[in-house]
Amino acid sequence: MNLPLAQWIRPEDFTWQPLVPEMLLLLGALVLPLVGLKLKGATGRRDMGRLTVIVLLGALVLVGWMMATGAYLDLEIQIAEYPALYEVTMFSQFLKVIFLFVAIVIALASIEYASAFRNPIEYYALLLLATTGMMVVASSRDLITLFIGIETASLSTYVLAGYAKNDRYSTEAGTKYFIIGALSSAIFLYGISLVYGITGSVRFEEIALAMGNGLGMDSIGLAAIVLILVGIGFKVSLVPFHMWAPDVYHGAPDTVAGFLSAGSKAMGFAAAFKILLVGMAAIKAQWDLILGILAVLTMTVANIIALRQTSMKRLLAYSSIAHAGYILIAVIVGTQYALAGGLYHLTTNAIMKGTSFIIIAALAAYAIGDRLTDYKGLRVRNPLLALTLAIMLLSLAGVPPFAGFASKFVLFSSAVYESFTEGHQWLLWLAIAAVVNSLISLFYYAKIIRYMFAETGTSTEPIKAPLATNIAILIGLVLIVLLGIWPQLVLGPAMEAAASLLP
């Protein structure tokens, strides 16, 4: 433990190569603000965005290369004698691809959107830092590293949510998000301390070993689980810990809302997968029913409230909450197939939500505000945006042949399968609740589509989206169709990722 500092940083002591993507982002976050000081005017502000995209793309290429070739995979990154805190597996790389993809798409859309801010320099630095934090979560091997990753990402996103300083909604969002986030982190940390008290370790495999030996099946174990679930519940916005989400999504800048809905959510679930499916898998009987009730509650409440929303971003916020409920099925069922379904749905959800919020951001420049009625007649004003948004919404509702259907299918059918084979009869009801909820959701999505296509709006002035935004939107559109008709592209790696996580 008391290694001299000099020994820590000697490259020959540990394999540092797998950490290059994270290092690249960190370097970008630290160096880009300095570069930004030299860039002047509106063009300079846009160049900041372009540089960020390049840094992120570099990291994505590296992660993708590691995934494709298997280089450095299944490596515990050990520093001298110190036990490994960090791992590189299919699971971690899969999630990193999601995080980086979301960050790239958001950064692309931000080139134009964030140039409206007086000073977007820190905006991009925070975006990179948040992404780094998420990647740390995906690779963590113990609760402390995981917590540090969550906090790095969260602290960055608190600032991002309140980035539009002159907009009081944005300031409110930032403040609210910070207070709720700090509270949930505290609760989560308390849960971690209880786990440490029970098992004497914060490392996932040691927790799993101790709990496999019968520790934690008591009331203290239950308390630890409840505290951790509450902490995670806040992060991924499960009902009844969801109250902050609509306000924050509504107030935060559109691109940031997309980042929260697509990226932060995936990070929360990455943490949930690690803690519950690896660390606490042995005491599943303690938590699976609680989570089942939370899942049904989350999707039902969110979908019913969403029906009455008149604000586009609040509606998408509730849709995001509902999707957290669906993905929870992956944790509850906990098989390789279910986890693959969960990862698959995290991917599609990230694409659908990211693209939707980008479109909203692009429309904001044309006085299309937040009200649903503002979307009337959008088809006439910009057919590409209207069609893409319609496809994203249909996919969110789970209409084939779009990717949202395929991922929901894998997710829900895993519950059906378990209910048949393992005698977990109640899982069938979970699947039925999820299907019924998908149905309810169709009605509010269809309402927006009807507004866009069948109603006439107050203006017919054509809308022109910036090139970078169009590129981001097209990527989303192509992916959502492609992954819908060719699910294997994601499902194959997702199955491998799930296999690498589960013991």
What is the rounded CA–CA span in Å between residue 85 and residue 395? 38
Beta-carbon contacts of residue 10 (< 8 Å; ≥ 6 apart)? none
Q: Which of residues 72-101 bind another protein (CB under 8 A)?
A: none
Interstrand relation of 82-88 and 75-79 (parallel, antiparallel or unpaired): antiparallel
- Binding segment for another protein among 230-238, 361-369, 393-401, 461-469 (CB under 8 A)? 393-401
Shortest Å distance, C-beta 391 to another protein: 9
Q: How far is the CB of 349 from another protein (least distance, A)?
A: 19
Identify which of residues 344 and 357 has a Cβ nearer to another protein in the complex: 344
Of 17, 413, 459, 500, the one binding another protein (CB under 8 A) is 413
Interface segment toward another protein; rule CB under 8 A; list 45-53, 61-69, 130-138, 448-456: 448-456
Find the binder of another protein among 363, 410, 427, 472 (CB under 8 A): 410
CB 462 within 8 A of CB 358: no
Q: Does residue 372 bind another protein (CB under 8 A)?
A: no
Q: Does 67 bind another protein (CB under 8 A)?
A: no
Task: Give the helix ranges, DSSP H, for 273-311.
Answer: 284-307
Q: Which of 8, 65, 429, 443 forms a contact with another protein (CB under 8 A)?
A: 443
Q: Which amino acid is at 274?
A: K
For another protein, the binding residue among 33, 58, 369, 400 (CB under 8 A) is 400
Of residues 265 and 345, the one with the C-beta less far from another protein: 345
Sign of CA dihedral 207, 323, 353, 235: negative
Residue 217: count other Cβ atoms within 10 Å of its Cβ: 13
Binding-site member from 401, 422, 429, 461 for another protein (CB under 8 A)? 401
Binds another protein (CB under 8 A): choice among 61, 450, 464, 503: 450
Whole-angstrom Cα distance, residue 147 to residue 396? 30
Among 34, 37, 454, 474, binds another protein (CB under 8 A): 454
Q: Please list the residues that pair with 86 across neighbouring strands.
A: 77, 140
CA 479 to chain CA centroid, nearest Å: 17
What does the per-residue mask of binding to another protein show for 235-264, with x meaning CB under 8 A? ------------------------------
Q: On the CB side of 9, how many CA atoms lie within 13 Å of its CA?
A: 2
Smallest distance, Å, CB 355 to another protein? 18
Instruction: Determine the 3-state secondary structure of 382 from DSSP.
Output: coil
**What minimum distance in Å lies between the beta carbon of 497 and another protein?**
12
Residue with Cβ nearer another protein (223 or 416): 416
Candidates 207-215, 314-322, 370-378, 394-402; binding stretch for another protein (CB under 8 A): 394-402
Q: Which of residues 177, 178, 337, 375 is near another protein by CB under 8 A?
A: 337
Residue type, 64: G
Smallest CA-to-CA distance from 348 within 401, 305, 299 is with: 401
Check if the beta carbon of residue 360 is closer than 8 Å to that of residue 375: no
Of 161, 166, 188, give the one whose Cα is nearest residue 247: 161
The residue count for binding another protein (CB under 8 A) is 34
289: left (phi over 0), alpha (psi -120 to 50) or beta: alpha
- Counting every residue written for the chain, the total comes to 503
Residues within the interface to another protein (CB under 8 A): 337, 340, 394, 399-401, 405-406, 409-410, 412-413, 416-417, 420-421, 431-432, 435, 438-439, 442-443, 446, 450, 453-454, 485-488, 491-492, 495
